[in-house]
C-alpha cells in the first residue's frame, strides 16, 4: 500500500508536541502558537478527522511560574522537584490550550495517564471509551503523562512512546511527532522514509534530549516508530515551528521523515 493509500484511510490524527517546540512560547508566555494549533485542529475536524494532542510542557510552565514568583530556575531539578514543577505547570498548560481553543469554539479536554492505564485492562477500556466519547463530541483530548505521581514503576517514560500508545488505540490513525528538527538524519542528510528500524538506524539517533524539561530525544522517536511500523500504521517526524506543516503531511508531501511499511 502506498503512502497516499494509507493517508486516504486515516480517521484520526495524533499530534505530539515536544518540549523543544513549546519552550520558547512558554518562556515568552505567548499563546499565539497555541491559537495556531487550535486553528489547525479545527481545519482537521472540518475535513473529517478526529484529533488528539499529546503535549509536553507542564514542567516548562512550572519553571516559568516558579521563576516569576520565586525567582528560582532549578537548572538541575531533582526528580521530586520535577514532579512538583509538573504539578505547578500542568494547570497552566491545560488552561492555555483551553483558552486558545475556545477562540475557535473548540473544547480541550485534559487526560493524564501512566503506564498502569495501558497495562490494566479495565483502565484501558475506560480510556478508549472516554477518548471515543470526547471525539464524538468534537472535543480535542490533550494528553500528558501524569508526572506528578508517576515513578519509574508506572512511567510510560516519554511523550513520544505515549503518543504511539495512543495512536495504537486507533488503527486508522496518523501519528505526527512535531519537534525542533525537520526529520531524522543520517550522515547529515534527512531520511525521507523509514520502513524498518535497524541497529544502524539507532546509531544515528544520538542521545540528545529536547531540553527545557523534555525526557525524549530522537531515540524515543525511533521507539515510537517501531511500535507504529509493527502495527502497520503510519507516522511522521517533522518540524513543529510552523504548525501548518500538518497540512503538508496530510497531503503526503516529502517533508520530515515518514515511517510506514509496504
Q: Which pTM does this prediction carry?
A: 0.91
pLDDT digits (tens, 9 = 90+) for 120-176: 999 999 999 999 999 999 999 999 988 766 555 435 668 999 999 999 999 999 999
**Cell of residue 128, nine digits:** 478508549
Region 231-255: what's the mean pLDDT?
96
Bigger pLDDT: 94 vs 210: 94
Q: List strands edge to edge, sheet with 193-194.
A: 108-113, 140-145, 50-55, 12-17, 173-179, 234-239, 257-259, 193-194
Q: What pLDDT, on a 0 to 100 scale, did the predictor assign at position 162?
A: 95
**Cell of residue 93, nine digits:** 498548560
User: Does pLDDT of 90 surpass 90?
Assistant: yes
Distances (CA, A) of 243 to 4, 36, 43, 197, 239: 21, 7, 12, 27, 8
Nearest to 108 by CA among 51, 174, 33: 51
Q: What domains lie within the chain, and their CATH numbers?
A: 3-259 (3.40.1160.10)
Assign 260 a pLDDT band (cuts: 50, 70, 90): very high
Q: Is the dihedral of CA 73, 75, 80, 85 positive or negative?
A: positive
pLDDT digits (tens, 9 = 90+) for 28-84: 889 999 999 999 999 999 999 999 999 999 989 999 899 888 888 887 888 888 889
Q: What pLDDT, on a 0 to 100 scale, did the predictor assign at position 214?
A: 46
pLDDT digits (tens, 9 = 90+) for 6-23: 999 999 999 999 988 998
Q: What pLDDT, on a 0 to 100 scale, did the predictor assign at position 153?
A: 43
pLDDT digits (tens, 9 = 90+) for 175-226: 999 999 999 998 889 999 999 999 889 988 864 444 444 445 789 999 999 9
Mind spelling out the 3-state secondary structure of 224-239? HHHHHHHCCCEEEEEE
Helix/strand/coil for 84: helix
Distance between CA 195 and CA 217 in Å, rounded? 20
Amino acid at each position: 500500500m502506498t503512502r497516499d493509500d494509507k493517508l486516504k484511510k486515516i480517521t484520526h490524527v495524533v499530534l505530539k508536541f515536544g518540549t523543544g517546540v513549546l519552550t520558547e512560547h512558554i518562556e515568552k508566555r505567548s499563546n499565539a502558537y497555541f491559537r495556531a494549533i487550535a486553528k489547525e485542529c479545527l481545519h482537521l475536524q472540518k475535513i473529517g478527522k478526529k484529533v488528539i494532542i499529546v503535549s509536553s510542557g507542564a514542567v516548562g510552565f512550572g519553571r516559568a511560574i516558579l521563576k516569576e514568583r520565586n525567582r528560582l530556575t532549578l537548572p538541575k531539578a531533582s526528580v521530586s522537584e520535577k514532579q512538583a514543577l509538573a504539578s505547578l505547570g500542568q494547570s497552566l498548560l491545560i488552561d492555555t490550550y483551553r483558552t486558545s481553543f475556545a477562540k475557535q469554539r473548540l473544547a480541550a479536554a485534559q487526560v493524564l495517564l501512566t503506564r498502569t492505564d495501558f497495562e490494566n485492562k479495565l483502565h484501558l477500556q475506560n480510556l478508549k471509551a472516554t477518548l471515543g466519547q470526547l471525539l464524538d463530541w468534537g472535543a480535542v483530548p490533550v494528553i500528558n503523562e501524569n508526572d506528578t505521581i508517576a515513578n519509574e514503576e508506572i512511567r510510560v517514560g516519554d511523550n513520544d512512546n505515549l503518543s504511539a500508545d495512543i495512536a495504537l488505540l486507533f488503527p486508522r490513525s496518523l501519528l505526527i511527532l512535531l519537534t525542533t528538527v525537520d526529520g531524522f538524519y543520517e550522515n547529515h542528510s534527512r531520511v525521507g522514509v523509514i520502513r524498518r528500524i535497524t541497529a544502524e538506524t539507532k546509531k544515528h539517533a544520538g542521545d540528545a534530549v529536547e531540553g527545557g524539561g523534555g525526557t525524549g530525544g530522537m531515540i524515543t522517536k525511533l521507539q515510537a516508530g517501531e511500535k507504529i511500523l509493527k502495527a502497520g500504521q503510519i507516522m511522521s517526524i517533522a518540524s513543529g515551528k510552523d504548525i501548518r506543516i500538518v497540512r503538508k503531511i496530510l497531503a503526503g508531501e516529502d517533508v520530515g521523515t515518514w515511517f510506514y511499511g509496504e
